């Protein structure tokens, strides 16, 4: 088999694998989220603390805007990393920007969780809070995973075309992260 055919097959396998991986993440997060929906639909009261005055102390809207921005930033940088189809030299620095965005997001999640816990709003305090921690935690961990993947892409010595392909896959992952995060925000805070 020619070298080009081998490379094609590898690309096809990698792309298939990535789609399958994303599908299983969708199922995982979807199960957590439908658990949340079922619990919420089945309970008469659903008291999220920020509906009872906490939001004054915690600039919630700003915080969400910040966190959404970090993921959006990661999506944009991973798009540049993929070279939008055109491989360019010197791409690894976009990778590091993706890593940074993910780490900031994660750190912010940890900070917010710690702040809530310090107010006595721990997961065991109520089922809504348990859902808040689980859904936020799942997104935070998945986002951190995206950062780790970006580190890997940055450090691996591969030809530009291959790196561009990795960048494209990374971008797909981060777009899913953005979707999950927006769903989380919608489910937990807006609806």
Partner 1 sequence: MRLSDHKTIGLAYGVTAAGFLVVGFLLMLLFRWQLAWPGQPMPIATAIFGETNAPGGILLPEFYYQLVAMHGTVMIFLAVVPFATAGLGTYLVPLQIGASGLAFPRLSLLAFVVYAAAGLLMVASFAMPGGAANSGWTSYPPLAILASSGQTAWLAGVFLLGVSSMLSAMTLIATVVAHRAPGLWLRRLPFFVWAQVVTALLLLLAFPALQAAAVFQLMDRVAGTSVFLPSGLAVSNVPLTVSGGGNPLLWQHLFWFLAHPEVYVLVLPAMGIVAEVLTAHARRNLWRYGLMVNAIAALGGWSMVVWAHHMLLTGMGTTMSTFFQITTVVVSVPSVILLTCLVVTLWGGTIRFTTAMCFALAFLPMFGLGGVTGLPLGLAPSNVILHDTYYVLGHFHYLVAPGTLFALFAAVYHWFPKVTGRRLDERLGLVHFAGSFVTMNAIFLPMFLMGLVGVNRRLYDAGLQYELAEPTLRWNASMTWSAVTLGVFQLVFLWNVVRSARRGEAADNPWQATTLEWAAPSPPPPGNFVTPPVVSGGPYRYDEERA
Q: Minimum Å distance from CB 96 to partner 1?
A: 25
Distance between CA atoms of residues 114 and 57, nearest Å: 15
Minimum CB distance to partner 1, residue 126 (Å): 5
Q: Which is nearer to partner 1, 126 or 162 (CB)?
A: 126
Query: Which CB sits closer to partner 1, 91 or 153?
Result: 153
User: Hey, how many other C-beta atoms are within 10 angstroms of the C-beta on 10?
Assistant: 12
Which CB sits closer to partner 1, 117 or 175? 117
Place of tokens 């959006």: 72
- Residues lying near partner 1 in the complex (CB under 8 A) are found at 1, 9-10, 12-14, 16-17, 20-21, 23-25, 27-32, 35, 38-39, 42-43, 122-127, 129-131, 133-134, 138
Minimum CB distance to partner 1 smaller for 16 or for 119: 16
CB 66 to partner 1: min, Å? 26
Tell me the residue length of the chain: 191
Output 55-63 pairs: Cβ under 8 A, ≥24 positions apart. 58/115, 60/189, 63/108, 63/112
Rounded-to-integer distance, Cα 188 and Cα 135, Å: 9
The CA distance from 8 to 118, in Å, is 53
Cα 49 from Cα 113, distance rounded (Å): 13
Whose Cβ is closer to partner 1: residue 101's or residue 153's?
A: 153
Query: Are 50 and 60 a contacting pair, CB within 8 Å?
Result: yes
HSE-CB at 6 with a 13 A cutoff on CA atoms is: 3
Helix (H, G, I), strand (E, B) or coil at 53: coil
Nearer Cβ to partner 1 (110/127) = 127
> In the complex, what is the shortest distance from the CB of residue 69 to partner 1, in angstroms, rounded to a whole number?
27
CB 62, min distance to partner 1, A: 28
């Amino acid at each position: 088999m020619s070298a080009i055919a081998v490379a094609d097959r590898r690309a096809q396998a990698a792309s298939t694998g990535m789609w399958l991986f994303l599908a299983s993440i969708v199922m995982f997060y979807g199960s957590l989220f439908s658990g949340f929906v079922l619990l919420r639909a089945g309970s008469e009261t659903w008291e999220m603390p920020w509906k009872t005055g906490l939001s004054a102390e915690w600039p919630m809207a700003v915080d969400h805007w910040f966190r959404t921005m970090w993921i959006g930033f990661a999506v944009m940088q991973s798009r540049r990393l993929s070279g939008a189809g055109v491989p360019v030299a010197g791409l690894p620095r976009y990778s590091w920007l993706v890593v940074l965005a993910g780490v900031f997001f994660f750190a912010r999640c940890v900070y917010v969780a710690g702040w809530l816990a310090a107010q006595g709003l721990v997961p065991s305090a109520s089922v809504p809070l348990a859902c808040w921690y689980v859904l936020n935690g799942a997104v935070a961990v998945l986002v951190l995973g995206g950062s780790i993947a970006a580190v890997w892409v940055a450090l691996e010595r591969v030809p530009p075309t291959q790196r561009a392909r990795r960048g494209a896959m990374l971008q797909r992952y981060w777009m899913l992260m953005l979707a999950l995060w927006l769903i989380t925000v919608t489910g937990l805070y807006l609806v």
